[in-house]
Amino acid sequence: MTLRVRVIPCLDVAAGRVVKGTRFVDLVDEGDPPTLAERYAREGADEIVYLDIAATPAGRGTFLDVVERTARRVFIPLTVGGGVRSVPEMRAVLRAGADKVSLNTVAVRQPALVRRCARAFGSQAVVVAIDARRRASATGWEVVVRGGREPTGLDAVAWAAAAAELGAGELLVTSMDRDGTRSGFETDLLRAVSDVVPVPVIASGGAATPTDFIAAARDGGATGLLAASVFHRGLLAIDDVKDALAAAGIPVRASGRAA
Amino acid sequence: MTTIAVVDYGAGNLVSIEQALAAAGARTVRLRAARPVEADGLVVPGVGSAGSAIARLARRGLDATIRSWVDDGRPYLGICLGLQLLFESSEEEDVRLLGMLPGRVVRLASAPRLPHIGWNQVALRERHALFDGIEDGTDFYFVHSYAVATGGGVLGMTEYGVSFASAVAVGSVAGVQFHPERSGRDGLRLLANFVGIAARASGRSAARPVEEVA
């Protein structure tokens, strides 16, 4: 018996729709987040992540409605990122049916919010998302915020340790160098973070092949493996990834096909 | 229709447990304050810390409601913290719990990483109606750092650095350390089994067969 490594599709949502087009021609509405989330759950996804990429106050009601419609039909864990800047805003997302909220830029700006959210809802509900970029002139990685637009000067590994100390129950670590490049997860970054924090680390950014997922788990020490476009574009099925992980001796939950 | 009361003490996500119970064929009502419970079964969900949960329950008088429900031998399902609350005490903030089952909730100190987050297997020790149609070794979704090591009434055990009791049943009281509402098809089946137990205890017809919901 052992804890499984998780395979996690991530959906970018704006104006109530999945952005970054998918290629599931058999879905009646492939742009509807709950429809796509349900499909992934059926195919063996271990969790789902939604990112509210617009995160405008005006669009918030629409987004929370998407979360609620998802919670009504998808019975695996749902993490929601984007748009939460306070304890009441986090409460609204959890009340809509999310299990966890991920905090990114706001956590860097107001680290105390991580602690307040963890006190209010428990660490298990608080994910701190860290976008990191390799430093050009020095070793290590720098935290960038606002979707990669703004460097902070913070060391990503030190910030990861601090975030766990503040009460984050999980860290979602994205390599901005790899994100969207399909050149594989940045395993050095993942290893550096997973070595210093006691909480689970979710790998993100760069997934292309099943081998990349194996490397993130085995070499990077990640226990969650997140990807978006490779799943949405049908380049990989959840099954392909899980079969490869299992063949490499990494424990995974039986996929949709096997079940 | 079978009615399940879900105890609401102001912590987190009740939507998923209510929706999962609805998918399992039950009508749900929220129980926010101490009053007579008009339901066939009681579900106590919960994540977060045991200390704040017990304080919130006590503030609303819901601890007494739970006690009398259990004392009356009526069907109870505790989920995660809702299971832990039944024991005597917790190492977390060294708090006294409801003390309806013997045992102490302890931190999973030898675990590789905490919280224990993700899918892990439940090795069944005993057969119970709660696990009808669920195979030994089935994966369920866990999110916690504390658990009871072992004790009486253990139905299932799970391993994460150490073995702990992941499913317990004593008389009409049952509890699971994992989240059936977040455990896909097998989780819905477990909830449908509980709805069935509650229906039979009230002499109602059984819940909708799980094949229709999963």
In a domain, A259, yes or no: no
Cα–Cα distance measured from residue A100 to residue A202, given in angstroms and rounded to the nearest whole number: 13
Mean of the per-residue pLDDT values of chain A: 92
Quick check: A200 and B119 CB within 8 A?
no
In a domain, A254, yes or no: no
The ipTM estimated for the assembled molecules is 0.92
Query: What residues make up the domain containing A34?
Result: 7-247
In a domain, A255, yes or no: no
In a domain, A253, yes or no: no
Quick check: B114 and A198 CB within 8 A?
yes
* Catalytic choice (A46, A52, A131, A212): A131
- pLDDT surpasses 80 at A114: yes
Q: How far is B46 from chain A (nearest CA, A)?
A: 10
Residues of A in contact with B177 (CB under 8 A): none
- pLDDT surpasses 50 at A115: yes
Average pLDDT over residues A167-187: 95
Split at pLDDT 50, 70, 90, the class of A23 is low
Cα-based distances in Å from A135 to A140, A175, A181, B4: 6, 12, 18, 55
pLDDT of residue B51: 83
**CB A172, CB A178: distance < 8 Å:** no
Reported pTM: 0.93
In a domain, A161, yes or no: yes
pLDDT of residue B69: 95
- Render pLDDT for B41-91 as a digit per residue (tens, 0 to 9): 999 998 777 888 898 899 999 999 999 999 999 999 999 999 999 999 999
- Render pLDDT for A58-98 as a digit per residue (tens, 0 to 9): 888 899 999 999 999 999 999 999 999 999 999 999 989 99
Average pLDDT over residues A20-44: 80
Cα–Cα distance measured from residue A79 to residue A82, given in angstroms and rounded to the nearest whole number: 10
pLDDT of residue B88: 94
Q: State how many domains chain A has.
A: 1
Average pLDDT over residues B31-47: 90
Average pLDDT over residues B14-40: 93
- pLDDT surpasses 70 at B212: no
In a domain, A221, yes or no: yes
Residues of B in contact with A3 (CB under 8 A): 116, 118-120, 142, 160
Residue A87: which CATH number?
3.20.20.70
- Render pLDDT for B189-210 as a digit per residue (tens, 0 to 9): 999 999 999 999 998 655 454 4
* Catalytic choice (B80, B92, B116, B128): B80
- Chain A residue with Cα closest to B19: A72
In a domain, A119, yes or no: yes
Closest listed residue to residue A118, CA positions, set A171, A81, A167, A170: A167
**CB B156, CB B167: distance < 8 Å:** yes
Q: How far is A21 from chain B (nearest CA, A)?
A: 26
Burial class (CB in 10 A: 0-12, 13-18, 19+), B72: exposed
Average pLDDT over residues A128-137: 95
Residue corresponding to tokens 């989920």: B79
- pLDDT surpasses 80 at B146: yes
Cα–Cα distance measured from residue B183 to residue A47, given in angstroms and rounded to the nearest whole number: 10
Residues 6+ apart with CB under 8 A from A203: A173, A185, A190, A216, A217, A220, A222, A224, A225, A226
Q: How far is A57 from chain B (nearest CA, A)?
A: 22
Residues of A in contact with B15 (CB under 8 A): 68, 71-72, 95-97
